[in-house]
């Protein structure tokens, strides 16, 4: 299942290229990884629903990780991280609620995590 998702995303990317030209490999790879991860982890419908905003928030959260500086310091990168986390939760909460109420409709890793969390809590 996940291999197919990967193959479809890579093929879609390749199909969007012209006959010749240049690409920025890091950007292409970054986009592909996000699309494959999103479709595999969240499911295609959710990944399309959350859109590019989710991945921009993800970058802000990632940029707010620092092993040398205490995370509670009032630095701009930590403030961005905290705002991104709050917005990401606002995006995901309705999706999680829907999945809690209708767990039988979904078959992906995200649903497995939600189901396991419901068992634990």
Residue 101 DSSP code: H
End-to-end CA distance of the chain: 29
> 59-109 pLDDT, tens per residue?
999 999 999 999 999 999 999 999 999 999 999 999 999 999 999 998 888
Residue 45 C-beta-side C-alpha neighbours within 13 Å: 9
According to the model, what pLDDT value does residue 52 have?
Answer: 87
Between CA 66 and CA 52 the distance in angstroms is: 24
68 and 25 in a common domain = no
User: pTM of the predicted model, to two decimals?
Assistant: 0.77
Summarised one tens digit per residue, pLDDT across range 21-64 is 999 999 999 999 999 999 888 888 888 888 889 999 999 999 99
What are the Cα distances from residue 30, in Å, to 37, 59, 71, 116? 11, 11, 26, 29
- Asked if 69 and 97 sit in the same domain, the reply is yes
| pLDDT value for 41 | 86
Same domain, 34 and 68: no
Range of the domain at 32: 1-41
Joined together, the tokens standing for residue 93 give 């909460």
């Amino acid at each position: 299942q996940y291999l197919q998702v990967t193959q479809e995303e890579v093929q879609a990317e390749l199909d969007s290229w012209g006959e010749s030209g240049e690409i920025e490999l890091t950007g292409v790879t970054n986009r592909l990884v996000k699309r494959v991860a999103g479709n595999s982890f969240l499911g295609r419908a959710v990944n399309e629903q959350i859109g590019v905003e989710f991945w921009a928030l993800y970058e802000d959260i990632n940029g707010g990780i620092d092993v040398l500086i205490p995370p509670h310091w009032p630095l701009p990168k930590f403030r961005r991280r905290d705002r991104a986390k709050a917005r990401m939760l606002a995006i995901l909460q309705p999706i999680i609620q829907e999945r809690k109420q209708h767990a039988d409709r979904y078959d992906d890793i995200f649903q497995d995590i939600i189901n396991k969390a419901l068992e634990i809590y």
